[in-house]
Structures are given as structure tokens and as C-alpha cells.
Structure 1
Amino acid sequence: MTIAFCCSLLSALWPVEYAAAGIDLPHPFRVGGLGAARDIWNVTAHTAYALFQVAWVVGVTARWRRANGVLRDQLALLGAAVGLTTVALLVGLMVWHSPRLGLVMTPLVPVAAGWIMIRLSLTRVIEKTRASGGLAGLSPRENDVLDLIAQGLSNKAISEQLHLSIKTVEPVVSSIFTKLQLPADATINRRVLAVLALLGD
């Protein structure tokens, strides 16, 4: 994120390839040092581009190897989306001698992959909850707490609403997660999934 922000800022201040974009309007920023930036760009651009491409592949692969089932599926979909975009780019270049198809696919495929990721992850959890009768197995107190979670209340706010101590509410919330088969996982928000299970029941 930080690297991407810095690269975007540098590109905005010193647009070394602005003229190549075919834009007739003058660039809105007038910052000194454009000549030096262009010289540095000419020396480092190709190497940096190759390193960035390799770095993200290595990073995603390493994360995939350490991931659990849900996150692993999501990363696999990300890889498939990138692969599909690359294939579209190559087909466009070979058949129509134009990168247009790949450029059109670039924003669309990741969006579609993201939508599929969310649908697969949430649908799996909700279907598992329904199949196990998880909501039916909640106690009246747990149902009350889940209703308040659905209203966006924190554990502290729930304790105040029900006139209970926070130490009483926290085990109830944990019990809800257990009964709904929502294990602790840093990649998901169990409160959101519990509410979705409630809404889908």
C-alpha cells in the first residue's frame, strides 16, 4: 500500500511519460526536477517493473502456502483472474495486434473475481450454518445478543443494553461463534458472518 501510494505520488508530480499518453492538455503540476526524474526513469523503469511483477507473484504464492481453505481459494481466484487478463492481452496482441482486449479485461476481471470470492466465502458459511441448524441451537440469551450484534452494537454496548457485565457478554458471543461454526480467523469478520447467518435463516 505504501509503495503504491509513493509510486502514484511520484507519477503525479513528475509524469515522465505524460506526453506519450497523447493528452493535449498541459499537466496540472509544475514541479522542478522533471528532467532528472526522466533520466532516472529511463535507467530504472524496466528493471523496477520486472521486480514488481516478480515480487507480487512471490508474495501471493508465499501467502497462499500459509493460508487456510477460504483464503487459499480467494488467492487462487486472484491468480486465475490475473492469468485470464494476461491471456486476453496476449490474444489481443497476436490476433488483432492491439492490447485493447487486455486493457478492457484488466479492470473487469478482478472485480468479477472479488465478487465471486465474497459469494463463495459467505455462501459456504451460511449454508454450513443452515445445514447444522446452528441458529436453532442458540439459547434465548444468545439470540438476544445476536440480534444486538445485528444492530451493530459492540460487546460493551450489548452489556449495557442487557444490563450485564462485559465478562458475561463475551462468553455468550464466543458461544454464538462456536455454535455457528465460525472459527477464529484473521481473514474474516465473525460478527458480520453471524449476522448474515441470522438474515439468511
Structure 2
Amino acid sequence: MARSGRSDVLTVLAASAACVLVAVGLTRGVWWANVHNGVLAVTLSLVGLWLATERPRSREGHLFLAAGTVEAVLFVGRQVGHTAEPGAAASWLGWLGVWPVALGLLATTYAVVCFPDGRLPSPRWRRPAAVAVALAVVAALLSALWPVEWASAGLRPAPPFTLPGRGTAQVVWEALAHPLYLVLQLSWIVAVAVRWRAGRSRAPLLGLLLGVAVAFVVLVVGLVAAGSAVPGLVTVSVVPLVAGWSALRGHALARYRTLSWLTGAQHEGGPLPDALARTVAESLDVPMASVWRGGGAALHLAGSWPAASVVDGGVEDGAPRPFEQLPGRTWPVHAQDELVGAVVVPGADVLSRAEERMVADLVAQAALVLDRLTLAELVRQERRAGRLDHLTAREGEVLELMARGLTNAAICRELHLSVKTVEPLVSTVFAKLGLHADPTVNRRVLAALEYHRR
């Protein structure tokens, strides 16, 4: 908790510092060619602050904050360099406002490509990401050691220094920088499209896809028509706002889905535990989830989504297992301070605070669902798996007699069979109905409920 508190303080300080730098730069007046850096600094920092606060264990907010800090340095450096009288201080501040351009665009690219969970779309992106970092560092060093961008930056003071070979550095930079900027922004569209195609995070990605596409088109038109990246950079300033709006919209849709899941489940007519598991998975944007029922020593599967997730999660046939051995991140379900089940979500390692609250609400609803869940519902699930159809005629007779309330001894007298014959038949009926040994339930009552339901 203390570590989380320190992290929150640092993120607030970083966002505040970026906004203060922008305010200091604005005291020099409004320079329209530099406005986009100020807007980017503020939007990136504020959206990063919100993301870091909502999802403390995710790197996404920190990526936005890093990009916002670089843009704030660019903005204030250029503001001073454009308006101050020539001098050593103005030259060095102007220098700070020029060479980190490639790093700023790189940081913004990482923030967009890793949106919304702070991770690359897949491991295949690691090598291209490393190449992009290397090229951006080279471009930044060329601009820092040989002020190749100084003339186009519109600064009044002369560069604070220059090294021999500036002409060669200029040629190399022009061959590297503009294509790099183009590829970086193209990667935004590709990354969003890859995530969209995977069917994950579609709600927050929808608006972001539109924003990055517009920014890319404007960048291409600016480079082709005017030979300048400024129009594209100006348009980029809307991307953080779109990302923040998309994330908010995604949270709103998830909250609505959480509130309306029971209505949809009743309309579709499916088992409530399966519907609850699907709601949990879709609300958290994870591929699978499951709902378990029972005490701490033995919980058995009550519902899952999708059905194959039981096998994928390493659980064979939903056999009873202790609470500590459930796969994935687990939320216990309590009723009157007693453990009655669990909600299991593999892959839910990093959740926002809003998502944590949603899961808490769903877990509370899971207690009500499990309270109403009868053995007949579990048997119905076994029938869908084809187990109930495998009862033999003799096993059907045993089930009928159990449903009438007869004990094993009474069944022996009714069918004129020995105890050694009846007891295995009863165990086989339980097995085919999927009624595993569980001290928290009465399997004979369950079997009776299923018989009368049929």
C-alpha cells in the first residue's frame, strides 16, 4: 500500500511538472508553430496521470507520462529559444527544445502501440520495437551533436556548439528522420489493427483507431505536399485525448455489461453460472473465466466461459479441488462469512481500480447465483456433456428409487439385488451425473431433483 501511495505521488508530480513547464513556456507568448508540443505535453501528461492512477500496476500510464514530459521540455525550450535574446542560456534551452523530437515521438509511439494494457501486442513486436529505439536514439544524437534541425526550428540564438562534419550529419539525418517518423506513426495503425483483429480491447481501441489514422494521413499529406512533419505533429495532439476518451468509454461499456448481465442471461435462457463467467471475462477483456461452488476443501466447477477454458486452464472435467489449487487469479465468494465458491480469472494480473470494483460487484452477485444454484442445474450441465444419456436401464431404475427416497437397503429389497450389486450401481449413477463426492452437498437429493425434473 505504501509503495502504491509513493507511486501515485510520483505520477502526480510528473504530470504537474509537465504542466508547469508548459505554463512557463506560455509566459513567452503564443507561437503557433510550437503550440502542438504544448498541447501534447498537457494531454499526454493528464491522460497518463489518469491511467496510472486507475491501473497502478500497468506501464501504460507511465508511458504517457514519459511522452508528456519530453513534449513539455521541447515546448518550453523552443518557446525560450524563439523569444529570448541571443545568449548562452537561451542557446542551451533552445538546444533542449530541438534534439529530443525523435525521443518524444518514440515515447508517444510506445504509449499508443502498448495501449491499453501497457504491453506490446505480441512477442513478435519486441525486435521491431528495439530497432525503433535504436534508430530514434541515432536521430536524437545527430540532432544533439550536430544541430541539424536548428534552422527549421525557428530559434533566434545560434546553436551552443557544433562538431565537425555537420554536412554529413545533415544528410544522414534527413535520410533517417523523416522516414522514421512516418514508420513510427504507421506502427500506431498496425498495432491498433492487430489488437482489433485479435478481438481484444475493442471498446477502447475504436476511437483510438480513428485518431491515429487521421494523424497518419495528415502526416503523409504534410510531408508530400509541404515537406514538413508539423501538420502531422499538430494532429498527433488529439491522439492522447482520443485514447483517454476511448478508455473511459470502455470502462462505461464494461460497467453497463456488468449491470445488465443477469437480464441477458435470463433472455438467452442459459445457465446463470456460465453467463456470469462470460460477463467476468468480457468485462475484464480476458479470454476465459470460471465460477466454482463449494467449501474451501472441495470446490467443483459450476460454470465457465468458454466451455474449453476448463481444459485450457489445466482443470480436468471440473473435478473438485481445494481453493488454494484453483488456476489463475481467484476471488473467494462468501455468504454469511462462509466460503461458498470462487470466481477464477486466468490472466487477470493487472486490473484497474474500476475493474477491481467491477469484479467485487460480480463476486457479490456470484454469491446470490450460487445460493440459487441447485444440484439439478449441475446435472443439466452434465447432460449437455452427454453423460446423462449413458444411464443403463438398471441404473435408471436405481435413480428412480433414489428419487422416491429409498435407501440402498430398500433398493436392494425392491429390485431383489444384493448390497454388493446396488452400491456400485449407485456410485455409477453419481459418476454419470457428474456428482463428485463433496461434503457440502447431498448427492442423493441432487439425483432426486434431476429425476423429478425429467
Instruction: Specify the TM-score bucket, using the shorter chain as the normaliser.
Output: 0.5 to 0.7
Amino acid in structure 2 at the alignment position of 1:114? A
Match of 2:211 in 1: 81
- Aligned counterpart, 1:124: 253
Q: Does 1:17 align with 2:157?
A: no
Cα distance between partner residues in 2 of 1:110 and 1:49: 16
Q: What corresponds to 2:391 in structure 1?
A: none
Summarize the Cα distance change of 1:169–1:191 in structure 2 as closer, same or farther, 3 Å threshold. Answer: farther
CA positional deviation for 1:183: 4.8
Which structure has the higher relative contact order (CA within 8 Å, separation 6+)?
1
Gaps of 5+ in 2: 1-109, 111-129, 223-228, 263-275, 277-322, 334-340, 365-454
How much does 1:17 deviate?
Answer: 1.8
Q: Is 1:196 aligned with 2:352?
A: no
Q: Secondary structure at the match of 2:331?
A: helix
Following TM superposition, by how much is the alpha carbon of 1:9 offset from its aligned partner in structure 2, in angstroms? 4.5
* Corresponding residue for residue 142 of structure 1: none
Q: Does the 8 A contact of 2:328 with 2:347 survive in 1?
A: no
Q: Note closer, same or farther for the CA distance 1:64–1:111 as it changes in structure 2 (3 Å cut).
A: same
8 Å CA contact 2:215–2:236 kept in 1: the answer is yes
Conserved? CA contact 2:330–2:345, under 8 Å: no
1:162-173 correspondence to structure 2 within 5 Å: 168=324
For 1:61, give the aligned amino acid: A
How far apart in 1 are the matches of 2:247 and 2:194? 22
Pairing partner for 1:63 from 192, 195, 220: 195
Q: Hey, which of these two has a bigger chunk of strand by percent?
A: 2
Q: Normalising by the residue count of structure 1, what TM-score does the alignment of the two structures yield?
A: 0.52
1:112 is aligned to 2:241: yes
Aligned-partner Cα distance in 1 for 2:257–2:233: 39
Aligned-residue Cα RMSD (Å) equals 4.7
Summarize deviations over 1:50-93 as a string: whole Å, max 9, x none.
5445444334433332242x2x333332221124446778999x
Q: CA-to-partner distance for each residue in 1:123-151, whole Å, 9 max, x for gaps?
A: 222333334588xxxxxxxxxxxxxxxxx
Residue 267 of structure 2 is matched in structure 1 by: none
How many residues align? The count is 160
| CA–CA distance in structure 1, aligned partners of residues 154 and 251 of structure 2 | 44
Percent sequence identity over aligned pairs: 27
8 Å contact from structure 1 (residues 125, 193) kept in 2: no
Is the contact between residue 126 and residue 196 of structure 1 (CA under 8 Å) also seen in structure 2?
no
CA contact (8 A) 1:81 1:110 kept: yes
Change (3 A) 1:41 1:171: closer
Gap change, CA 1:128 and 1:56, over 3 Å in 2: closer
Would the aligned equivalents of 1:77 and 1:117 in 2 still touch at CA under 8 Å?
yes
Alpha carbons 2:206, 2:246 under 8 Å: kept: no
SS in 2 for 1:174: strand
Relative to the length of structure 2, the TM-score reads 0.27
Counterpart Cα distance in 2 of 1:86 and 1:119? 24
Contact map agreement 1:14 1:37 (CA 8 A) in 2: yes
Measured at CA, do residues 32 and 130 of structure 1 come closer, stay the same or move farther in structure 2, by a change above 3 Å?
A: farther
After TM superposition, the structure 1 stretch with the greater mean CA deviation from structure 2, 6-15 or 81-90, is 81-90
| Structure number having the greater helix percentage | 1
Q: Is the 8 A contact 2:328 2:345 kept in 1?
A: no
Corresponding residue for residue 159 of structure 1: none
- Given that 2:327 and 2:346 are in contact with CA atoms closer than 8 Å, whether structure 1 keeps it comes out as no
